[in-house]
Amino acid sequence: MGQTDYVPRYARAIPAARVFTAKCSFHLASCKALPLCWGDWRTPPASRPSATTEHKAVNTTPNGSLACVGIGITLGSHISPLARSHIEKAEVVFTAVSDGIVELWLREMNPDVRSLQPYYAEGKPRPQTYREMVEAMMTEVRAGKRVCGVFYGHPGVFAWAPHRAIKVAREEGYPAHMEPGISSEDCLYADLGIDPGKVGCQHFDATQFMLFRRNVDPGAWLILWQVGLAGEQTGRRFGTGPAYRQVLVDVLRRHYPADHEVTVYRAATLPLQAPRMERLPISGLPEADLNMSDTLAVPPCRELEADHEVQQRLALLDVATEPG
Ligand SMILES: C[S@@+](CC[C@H](N)C(=O)[O-])C[C@H]1O[C@@H](n2cnc3c(N)ncnc32)[C@H](O)[C@@H]1O
């Protein structure tokens, strides 16, 4: 069977998925509402929502519980048995996943699947969207339901709502648990052949990287998340453009030459897709076609610098502690 003939088991079970997968015409770029992350670092401490501002009640219905699970990046093939078990056993499943086909697939596992996507809207402040998502899940937990929140990738990686929902649930006395998933970071290591242990690897949200002065180590890998949103400070838009990315280029230029080659990476979300791995010089970023699911991988531009003093101290220790 040739690769294009292959129809995965989930797709055979879901007619719409079969058509969808066979055509392979959809990719995340067309999904306006790919779940985004709006980190706590963007929100001043005084205005951060807490369990008390979101809901004042304490646990009066002890049966409620929350599990936030990750289903990985590639549809059907990354889900763990534990995540599947949480989904199947839940009384209500909420989803913030990468596209509609994933929701169809989840409905094969549980009849009560509710999308969190409608909470997103162009122009709506994302902190409000995330608070509403947490509230939607917590309303069912407080009603005594076994609730499962399903998130694409890893639910705890660049994802605000799952962390917040678990915190709120625990503060209110409900059992709450996070089940890890295969994140886009994991896919990136596999597809780009990067071992983060080799020279080290730094990860930043692209906008945070621009807004704050970071100690960048150009001897290590640098991974910039949400690069399609680089410089987006309003919390209301789903992308920025060349002028914003030129600012990113200027920040990167403090550490890297203009012709340093970087990779725009997008992991496959459907089994028949190939990952996007597009190499370009840093100076080409403003004109690059970037969307909400792209990640930027910047390789090191210089050798590791030896710390001779520490090396000598350790060598002396080796001599001093040598047996015999
Ligand atoms: C809100 S974060 C969610 C990450 C997700 N929780 C995970 O575990 O991968 C969204 C960002 O993750 C990265 N991302 C999401 N999907 C991706 C994909 N298919 N390939 C590469 N990076 C992806 C991009 O940097 C994107 O802007």
Sign of CA dihedral 122, 126, 130, 132: negative
Q: Are residues 73 and 141 in the same domain?
A: yes
Based on the fold, state whether residues 141 and 193 are members of the same structural domain: no
Residue after which a domain boundary falls, among 162, 182, 202: 182
Mutate to test the pocket of ligand 1, among 295, 296, 298 (most ligand atoms within 8 A of CB): 295
Q: How many A from CA of 310 to the centre of ligand 1?
A: 38
Number of domains in the chain: 2
In 3D space, the residue among 79, 78, 95, 97 whose CA is nearest the CA of residue 35 turns out to be: 97
Q: Is the same domain home to 136 and 208?
A: no
Contacts of 79 (CB under 8 A, 6+ apart): 71, 72, 181
Do residues 49 and 151 both lie within one domain?
yes
Residue 15 lies inside a defined structural domain of this protein? no
Q: Is 129 in the same domain as 230? A: no
> Does a structural domain hold residue 35?
no
Domain that holds residue 92: 45-182
Q: Which atom of ligand 1 is nearest to the CA of 268?
A: 19
From residue 315, alpha-carbon distances to 303, 305, 310 in Å are 22, 17, 9
Task: Verify that 115 and 218 share a domain, yes or no.
Answer: no
Confidence at residue 61, expressed as pLDDT on a 0 to 100 scale: 59
- The verdict on 133 and 254 lying in the same domain is no
Ligand 1 pocket test, pick from 225, 227, 238, 240 with the greatest ligand atom count within 8 Å of Cβ, gives: 225
Residue 146 and residue 229 share a domain:
no
Closest to 301 in 3D by CA, of 248, 246, 222, 223: 222
175 and 90 share one domain: yes
Residue 26 domain flag: no
Integer Cα distance of 123 and 227 in angstroms: 19
Biggest CA–CA distance in the chain, Å, is 72
- Positions marked catalytic: 126, 130, 152
Q: What is the radius of gyration, based on Cα positions, of the chain?
A: 22
Of the candidates 252, 313, 263, the one whose C-alpha atom is nearest the C-alpha of residue 288 is 263
Nearest CA to ligand 1 atom 21: 266
Answer with the one of 182, 215, 245 that is the final residue of a domain: 182
Q: pLDDT by residue for the chain (324 residues), tens digit each?
A: 333 333 334 344 434 333 333 333 333 333 344 666 766 667 644 445 554 445 555 666 569 999 999 999 999 999 999 999 999 999 999 999 877 899 999 999 999 999 999 999 888 998 999 999 999 999 999 999 999 999 999 999 999 999 999 999 999 999 999 999 999 999 999 999 999 999 999 999 999 999 999 999 999 999 999 999 999 999 888 899 999 999 999 999 999 999 999 999 999 999 999 999 999 999 999 999 999 999 999 999 999 999 999 999 999 999 999 987
CATH number at residue 51: 3.40.1010.10
CA distances from 48 to 74, 95, 131, 138 (A): 33, 23, 10, 17
pTM: 0.86
Give, in degrees to the nearest 5, the angle at Cα 323 between 320 and 324: 105
* Residue 305 included in any domain: no
Residue 117 lies in a domain: yes
Residue 312 lies in a domain: no
- Contact at 8 Å (CB) between 33 and 133? no
Query: Do 82 and 128 fall within a single domain?
Result: yes
In a domain, 39, yes or no: no
